[in-house]
Amino acid sequence: MRLSNEEIIELRLLANKKELKNRDIASTINISQSAVSQFLRNKTRLSESNENKIKDIIQQADQFVMRRVRVSD
């Protein structure tokens, strides 16, 4: 089933929260980075299969990002 505009907006917000990059999503499913960007901004539609793949990638991504932080003494 195709995603609604509201679901796409929620996915974009969740991807931002999880700090996912469009290029990482795109390379995982072999589509262009611009296609992912346009889809998440509701500028274009993708195949139902690719929409569902993007949804799965974003939902299954880890919530927290490990970062190296310099600690001063």
Domain ranges of the chain: 5-60
Task: Give how far Cα 36 sits from Cα of 1, 39, 40, 59, Å.
Answer: 18, 5, 6, 15
**pTM for the full model?**
0.81
Residue-by-residue DSSP string for 29-61: HT--HHHHHHHHTTS----HHHHHHHHHHHHHS
- C-alpha closest to that of 50 among 58, 19, 63: 58
Residue written as token pair 């274009």: 44
What does the pLDDT look like over 21-63, one tens digit per residue? Answer: 999 999 999 999 999 999 999 999 999 999 999 999 999 988 7
Count the neighbouring beta carbons within 10 Å of the beta carbon of residue 11: 20
Higher pLDDT among residues 35 and 70, named by residue: 35
